[in-house]
Amino acid sequence: MKTVLIQNNRKPASDDALSKLLGLPKDAETDQNSTMWFGIENDSGEVYRLIGVDGVADYVKTLKQLSSAGYWVESLEAEMAGALHAVVKAQGDRQPL
């Protein structure tokens, strides 16, 4: 699993809990060669962190883990390499169906 922080987008206080939940590396990666990417939004609706996983199995496992922890996951159709496959919203930001 790789992660990239987006400069100038505020990292919320809940980021430490997210990092611990997923076992994210302390330092952001610069290598963006993962197979599938999803973005994590802050409470202002800005994607502040990208997380990349290698393969569909890791992608599904990670998103299920986030959903079980109370995050809301919006799947996207990535139409090109490097595009986001999902956006994860902060805990408590669930959208009505």
Tell which wins on pLDDT, 51 or 84.
Answer: 51
Q: Is residue 79 very low, low, confident or very high in pLDDT (cuts 50, 70, 90)?
A: low
Residues 6+ apart with CB under 8 A from 81: none
Check if the beta carbon of residue 84 is closer than 8 Å to that of residue 39: yes
| pTM of the complete model | 0.76
Q: Is residue 65 very low, low, confident or very high in pLDDT (cuts 50, 70, 90)?
A: very high
Q: Which two tokens stand for residue 18?
A: 């997210």
Question: Does residue 19 register a pLDDT over 70?
Answer: yes
Question: Does residue 77 register a pLDDT over 80?
Answer: no
Longest dimension (CA), the chain: 36
pLDDT confidence of residue 94: 45
Long-range contacts formed by 26-35: CB under 8 A, 24+ apart: 28/3, 28/4, 29/2, 29/3, 29/4, 30/4, 31/2, 32/2, 32/4, 32/82, 34/1, 34/2, 35/59
Residue with tokens 């393969």: 55
